[in-house]
Amino acid sequence: MEEGRRIINYNLIRRLSSLGCKILRNELLLKHCSFKIGGPVDFFIEIPNEYALLEFLGIVSDKYYILGKGTNVLFSDEGYKGAMGCLTGDFRKIYVLKDQILCGGGALISNLLKIVLKNNLTGLEYLVGIPGTVGGAVRGNAGSKDEWISASINSVEIYKNLKKQLISKEKIKFRYRESELRDCVITKVSFSLKKAMGNDSSKKICRNMQKRLEKQPLNMPNAGSVFKNPSSDLSAGELIEYTGLKGKRIGCAQISDLHGNFIVNRGGAIAKDVLYLIDIVKKRVKKKFNINLETEIKIIK
Ligand SMILES: Cc1cc2nc3c(=O)[nH]c(=O)nc-3n(C[C@H](O)[C@H](O)[C@H](O)COP(=O)(O)OP(=O)(O)OC[C@H]3O[C@@H](n4cnc5c(N)ncnc54)[C@H](O)[C@@H]3O)c2cc1C
């Protein structure tokens, strides 16, 4: 696919640069994801404001990918042909108005949580330890087993087909680890929270973080849960554990021996290794439990 190379020429690069974009050519995607896996992208473009975003979307048309912090993705070893945009600058700002928070799509969840705590608000404690941006979290309705980010959303501002739209929460379908906010750029999210009582929020955050430290292999690059939990009594992690696949290794990729639903990069893993492991897991779980596991991570080619 040469379209990305064709549509972005040097004049357009100059135009995007003049609007404040930082443009990296043939940038290795392994530098932009928590898995530390991925070949080069033709153009990696950091977009700092709405003018630049509109220009970017006008130029790249429908052949682009919007990346958050890359904590829920697996890039191909061959990289990505085309342009990849990442929201920075204005899109990372967070404003507080009493119990409402207006947050840029490129803001980190960790920064949102700091502001929530500082302003004595409550309602997002389950997000602690989830790396990534608010845009990525809303796109995938991130959360814990029973609490999802969509519960606290008022409205979402998006760019779709070069038009800005403000959509109220009631008009957006959210499901477990899924939203219908596809093929668009999430630029702002408005949250409605409650005033916290005492130090309950801090305590909940500490408890949640402690659980993650105990159960997740946070010392090695990974992309969080590889598979969505199926609608069965057992979680994806438990199903994988019962197939005996914990610790299984292909090349430098390994099913974590701490958590069956995590694949870790032991150093130098490639996407092919991870995909091979995903395939093995799917087949074994299907054979043993007759359950089709669905990947939670986005596989980007
Ligand atoms: C150690 C670890 C623990 C994790 N724990 C959890 C957990 O408990 N719960 C959970 O739900 N997830 C978890 N995750 C997964 C991940 O962190 C979340 O899904 C996070 O919300 C993804 O955000 P991101 O910015 O990294 O998105 P990316 O990985 O960059 O992108 C994910 C998807 O969102 C889209 N996207 C990103 N930004 C935008 C935007 N502004 N507009 C439109 N689309 C956008 C991308 O195109 C892509 O399709 C974990 C990951 C790791 C590494």
CATH code for the domain of 77: 3.30.43.10
Quick one: average pLDDT of 229-248?
Answer: 96
Residue 55 and residue 77 in one domain: yes
Pocket test for ligand 1, best of 128, 130, 167 (most atoms within 8 A of CB): 130
178-179 vs 94-97, strand pairing mode:
unpaired
CA of 246 to the centre of ligand 1 (A): 24
pLDDT at 244 > cutoff 90: yes
Residues in the chain: 301
- 211 within some domain: no
Residue 157 bears catalytic tag: no
Selected residue with higher pLDDT from 184 and 200:
184
CA 14 to ligand 1 centroid distance, Å: 31
Distance 179 CA to ligand 1 centre (A): 12
- In the three-class reduction of DSSP (H, G, I as helix; E, B as strand; rest coil), residue 260 is classed as coil
Q: Is residue 142 part of a domain?
A: yes
* Residue 260 CB burial class (10 angstroms; 0-12, 13-18, ≥19): buried
> Which ligand 1 atom lies nearest to the CA of residue 133?
25
- Is 61 within a domain? yes
Query: 68: closest CA among 128, 13, 4, 139?
Result: 139
Beta bridge partners of 41: 27, 80
Mean pLDDT of 261-268: 98
Instruction: Give the range of the structural domain holding residue 136, as residue numbers without chain letter.
Output: 93-200
Does one domain contain both 78 and 108?
no
Q: Are 252 and 266 in contact (CB under 8 A)?
A: yes
Q: Identify the domain boundary among 174, 200, 226.
A: 200
- 225 tagged catalytic: yes
Can you give the CATH number for the domain in which 237 is found?
A: 3.90.78.10
Q: Is 33 helix (H, G, I), strand (E, B) or coil?
A: coil
Q: Same domain for 102 and 139?
A: yes
pLDDT at 2: 43
Does 137 sit in the ligand 1 pocket, CB within 6 Å? yes
Task: Say if residue 105 is in the same domain as residue 33.
Answer: no
Question: How much distance in Å is there from the Cα of 109 to the middle of ligand 1?
Answer: 10
- The string of pLDDT tens digits covering residues 209-233 is 999 999 999 999 999 999 999 999 9
Q: Does residue 254 sit in the same domain as residue 175?
A: no
CA angle 185, 5, 161 (to 5 degrees): 25
- The closest-lying atom of ligand 1 relative to the alpha carbon of residue 218 is 1
Active site residue 110: no
CB-CB contact of 68 with 106 (8 Å): yes
Whether residue 193 sits in one domain with residue 100: yes
**Is 71 close to ligand 1, i.e. is its CB under 6 Å away?**
yes
Q: What atom of ligand 1 comes closest to residue 35's alpha carbon?
A: 53
Q: How many domains does the structure of the chain reveal?
A: 3
Residue identified by tokens 């309602």 is 123
Q: Which of 48-52, 61-65, 74-78 has the lowest mean pLDDT?
A: 61-65
pTM, two decimals, is 0.95
Whether residues 141 and 162 share a domain: the answer is: yes
Q: Is 142 in the pocket of ligand 1 (CB under 6 A)?
A: yes
Residues 164 and 181 in one domain: yes
